Structure 1
């Protein structure tokens, strides 16, 4: 299917984010290419338009550390196409941002390039989505793994942008020694980037400024849903589990690597829960007994979180 190039692009103000092309897929979603002035790049954003008359709210779903590449996106790994049919919400999945923490980096990175995701996601993209897909300005955002941290950081960056936040298997602590080690593992270990270009050296105030654990009070008034498995094998960690399909190596990876990561994020999640309780900041926490760091559990958690998101977006 040929992508539609939008008229007037050549004469558009280069300082304003705009759609430069879009393609409607047979499976209903619309692939929208958005020119980002802050990033100096054309970025793919996949949208499930609300099947309703009149303006609709928008749910942004962020992928994890792979940025949606290699089949690791909400569209590839979950049932969002069918689940959100008839629910009256625009569902937006930005693609890219691998190992970036979806934040604004201080400097261009030789490997990961120019990263200004916070500006793109909070200041540029919402107006584009609302104009093209008749959004009503009421937004929620949820993310998995790395992005389970980013959703809180984006709310700190733009306090009025999101009514609801969803964090599935994320780690909200980023500025203490353990948190910094986790961030380096993602940015440097998985992405080949350099955290010095992101938030500077460990002593740089940017680390604390982007640490949700230190800014829990700023989330008061948001509708918050946080979940995490224990890391122990759960009901999907079997040979016939979703995405495993009898592949013993996939199961081994999910039980080994996925268990270690989920165990670590579970500790972060318990720490966040304790701090929110201590400060009296309301939030829903779902800490389930079994479950590794894998998509079938995150699909379940999105289903569980949706009624809470829906209520927040309705008012």
Structure 2
């Protein structure tokens, strides 16, 4: 049997150089966090759905009826726990945080990580009615789910383990629509949360034009559009200011706050193969998040609060949110 001749050493060197150059230029695709095996393995739990549909409108048979899937990374001896909320395009199998980042490694640094699964376009809130644009059968109750999950994690009941708290309270963070939701949950349930972080969140929802912008964004959520009118009702409904972080600043005194955003310009996590999506979605979304974050920061400081802030180059993309989480950790946000 003849063995195939090996490539000349110079050829192998050339291939290695080309791969290195391609990787440096972003020509070889990569996903943030993938390949970083978690030192603490994640565990799957199921918790009460507060009667809402856990499968959205689309009947995903892999989901347990009446339950919400939760992924948890924890270590004995950890002293803090953070609940991490996903964004508008949340999936039903895993959180985007697990798919696209390495923030689960916080569990190796004293902070347990809890990731609820599902809730695309939900804003992690209680809706007024099912979304009739996509045939949703029952009303979202994510506000109930998140707050009840925190209560159950504190006591170790209803299908989830007991996790470390700071005086009986948790930190909560989210990205994009999950960012403003994190601030809202913390402001409304001071008995459950000691810290809240919004990463590229929409923190001034009652600002002129915001409802129209959000309507357009929710029409673009795959696989079918969501009707924003089913969430908090008409623009004049009192539920809009009740769920607007900017309007809740006076209830945030004593909370540890962290808000961050990119500026919409391309940075180190914008790769050529994602150019179109980054340019036409990532850039405008992040520019909007920037204006909302700056407005919230100004409002918070005017009322005597001192939020941690993070501003950098970047678009609406996972790599930048991962950096924000680790920046918050380094600066003592979870302590």
> With structure 1 as the length reference, what TM-score do the two structures score?
0.80
Bigger Cα Rg: 2
What secondary structure does 2:82 align onto?
strand
Structure 2 unaligned regions, length at least 5: 1-37, 54-65
Query: Counterpart of 1:60?
Result: 83
- Of residues 33, 37, 40 in structure 1, which corresponds to 2:50? 37
Of 199, 205, 222, 1:174 maps to 205
Q: 1:164–1:309: 8 Å Cα contact kept in structure 2?
A: yes
Long gaps (5+) in structure 1:
1-24, 240-247
How far the C-alpha of 1:302 sits from its partner, in A, is: 0.3
Mapping for residues 264-283 of structure 1, pairs under 5 Å: 264-283=288-307
Asked if structure 1 preserves the Cα contact closer than 8 Å seen for 2:107 and 2:113, the reply is no
1:255 aligns with 2:274: no
Equivalent position to 1:187, from 215, 218, 228: 218
Q: How does 1:172-251 map to 2 (within 5 A)?
A: 172-190=203-221, 192-239=225-272, 248=273, 250-251=274-275
* Aligned partner (choices 176, 187, 190) of residue 145 of structure 1: 176
- CA displacement, residues 61-98 of structure 1 (integer Å, 9 cap, x when unaligned): 011101235876100100123x2242233210001110
Give, in whole Å, the separation in 2 of the partners of 1:72 and 1:33.
14
Question: Aligned partners of 1:114 and 1:101: how far apart in 2?
Answer: 13
Deviation digits for residues 166-212 of structure 1, max 9, x if unmatched? Answer: 11101111123322123323334426222222111111111111111
Would you say the 8 A contact 2:184–2:248 is kept in 1? Answer: no
Q: Is the 8 A contact 2:82 2:113 kept in 1?
A: yes
The aligned residue for residue 12 of structure 1 is none
RMSD: 2.2
| CA pair 80-106 structure 1, distance change in 2 beyond 3 A | same
Runs of 4+ more than 4 Å apart: 69-72
Q: How many Å apart are 1:42 and its aligned residue?
A: 1.3
1:217-243 Cα deviation digits (max 9, x unpaired): 11111111110011011122234xxxx
